[in-house]
Amino acid sequence: MGREWYKGDTDIARLNTGRMGIWHAFCVTGCRRIWIPIYQCDSIRETFEKKGVELCFYHQDKNFNPIDLKAKDDDAVLVVNYYGIMSSERMAELTKPYRHAIVDCAQAFFCKPVEGALTVYSCRKFVGAPDGCYVVGKDAHKFVDDYPQCYSSDTAAFLLMRIEYGCEGKGYEARGLNEHRIDAEDCMKMSKLTRTLMDAEDYAHNQQKRKENFAYAHQLLGDINKIDPTRYMDDETIPMVYPLVVEDDALIKRLFEAKHFQGHWWSYICDEQPKDSFEHWISRYVIPITIDQRYGKEELDYLANIIKQ
């Protein structure tokens, strides 16, 4: 015990979900309007719409650079560390022009907090936890005492079920109950269960396996990948997934048949954005290949063979 990655009580907030972490960070900035990327989970947009916040959207180019972001000094700006493949230095460069920057590191748990910004981390994407989020940065602890306590044990059984039943059937149904709870919750303090799990994680093993698996996946698939996922990485970058972009609409079905249950992210964007936009292209074709500590060379070899057939 005592391993919690983000420690302390000042300039840190422990909350229930990443989307609420971003909302909380926005409240801390004191801004009334926020710019968010079009390429983003719809739960973020929906959260701000429910709260009645004025939203502005910006596009990105194929290198994930903003191309029409025109924030004023009293606007908040959300930038995203996609797939966890961007270094802390890269995120610092992206936030530099903006006075009230929020860094979405839901996919980059180990990316160092960006100085002068509020950085938001999701627990469950990197650790076997039912929910949870950290917000790190100046005054991040503000307002936390006003939030109710989250209780996650009632819907956390899926973590045990997937060990015995796998990700299908009962495990999938139980996870759905947890997702439904998360979708319905407002901003809350992190549950005691989640904090206990975060305090017991073997982070060194987690990091090492992800780095090894990412490097091996890139060795196997880099030659067919339409993006260079290593472009903004450094030695300290710990990715969440290996983002593979192959212009083959049938590939996701073949992976599902092989019981690789990682679908496309944010497919709703394809219905909203023109076909010649970067956002439509990346949403349509990117497949996030799992590289967490449950995987090794054997599993990645198996997936690579299916992909390359």
Question: For the segment 186-238, what is each residue's pLDDT rounded down to a tens digit?
Answer: 999 999 999 999 999 999 999 999 999 999 999 999 999 999 999 999 999 99
Within 185-295, residue ranges assigned H as helices are 192-198, 203-221, 251-257, 268-272, 278-285
3-class secondary structure, 36: strand
Tokens 């919690």 correspond to what residue? 4
Res 161: pLDDT: 86
Taking the CA atoms of 57, 61, 67 and 72 in sequence, report the sign of the dihedral they define.
positive
Q: So what's the pLDDT on residue 168?
A: 72
Mean pLDDT check: name the lowest of 138-142, 236-240, 256-260. 256-260
The larger pLDDT score, comparing residue 186 to residue 165, is at: 186
Contact (Cβ atoms closer than 8 angstroms) between residue 112 and residue 176: no
Strand partners, 54: 33
The pLDDT, as a whole number, for residue 238 is 97
Residue 8 banded pLDDT, cuts 50, 70, 90: confident
What's 60's DSSP letter? B
Residue 85 burial class via C-beta count within 10 angstroms: exposed 0-12, middle 13-18, buried 19 and up: buried
Which band of pLDDT confidence, cut at 50, 70 and 90, is reported for residue 294? confident
15 DSSP β-pair partners = 133, 189
CA dist., res. 218 & res. 102, Å (int):
30
Average pLDDT over residues 35-45: 96
Task: Tell me what the mean pLDDT of segment 106-120 comes to.
Answer: 97
Residue 92 identity: A
Percent of the chain residues topping a pLDDT of 70: 100
- The pTM for the full model equals 0.95
Place of tokens 């390429």: 39
Predicted pLDDT at 1: 59
Count each helix (H run) and each strand (E run) in the chain, helices first.
11, 9
The per-residue pLDDT of the chain, averaged, comes to 94
| Strand, coil or helix: 143 | coil
- Residue type at 169? G
Confidence of residue 257 (pLDDT cuts 50, 70, 90): confident
Q: 203-221 and 297-308 are packed helices; what angle lies between their axes, rounded to 10 degrees? A: 30
Supply the pLDDT for residue 54. 97
**Mean pLDDT confidence for 121-137:** 95
All residues at 6 or more sequence positions from 102 whose CB lies less than 8 Å from its CB, including other chains: 22, 25, 26, 29, 34, 76, 77, 78, 79, 117, 118, 119, 120
- Please report, for residues 3, 25, 111, 143, the alpha-carbon distance to residue 20 in angstroms, rounded to integers and kept in the order given: 24, 8, 19, 13
Place of tokens 């194929």: 62
Domains of the chain are 12-150+185-198 (3.40.640.10), 203-308 (3.90.1150.10)
